Structure 1
Amino acid sequence: MFAGPEADPAAATAAAFTGAAETLRELDFTDPCPIATVALEVVSTHEALRRATADVFASWIEALAGFYAGAGIEAETARDTAGSVIALLEGAFMLGRAAHDTAPVLAPARASAAIVRDALGRAG
């Protein structure tokens, strides 16, 4: 998802935010995550679409958790860490779109790396 298995997971996570900011700029701040857009629009009105978006987010979290677990983070902590990183990224996209600026996407890069480093520290 973020990098090969030999990558430093904290650095790879921070780099993903940098890449996400570039994607947001390339899309002219329109819709970097259509899943989030659909989820926000249908969560209270269309149960099947709500479930579908929840399933997509869950699959992203599980894939990222697998990356973190491969780096030595305990499975439950890896899932919590992945969920936190995905939540930071999705919130950052929303704030970046509203501000028409990449700063809200770049700002949590350090925080996301710190979350991952903390999880790695608990693993060791």
Structure 2
Amino acid sequence: MTKLSLGSHPYLLGFEQLERLLERNAKSGNEGYPPFNIEQTSERSYRITLAVAGFRDEDLSITVEERQLMIRGGQAEDDAERLFLHRGIAGRQFQRSFVLADGVEVAGATLENGLLHVDLERAAHDKVVQTIQIKRA
């Protein structure tokens, strides 16, 4: 039995880049930290919420490259002057990535009460019907 990939399916032309994005996202090491929610806030908008307690806005970075939303966090180590009797709150670095569909853009981000909210919007598309003229060879 032959495995068909998204890019090689005969009815899906030009989706090779999407397949590469999905493969790269699957290999990016998205573990369980930090936990996150994805919600649809309207017909054309979404919100990704990450639990980032203890992180300040300067500890976080949000980038979009080749339709891939990347959220990274890292805290400066100031443990030299602190003596922990028990350390149960993780302050480790993280990286979360999400593949964005064409037309989905980051509208903004807010940090409130230990939650990072990244708002996404999908641009409204006008229906376009294109008629192709057939030329004689």
TM bucket, shorter chain:
under 0.3
Larger Rg: 2
Report the TM-score, using the length of structure 1 for normalisation: 0.27
TM-score scaled to structure 2, two decimals?
0.26
Structure with the largest fraction of strand? 2
User: Which protein has greater RCO, CA pairs closer than 8 Å, 6+ apart?
Assistant: 1
Determine which structure has the larger helix proportion and give its number. 1
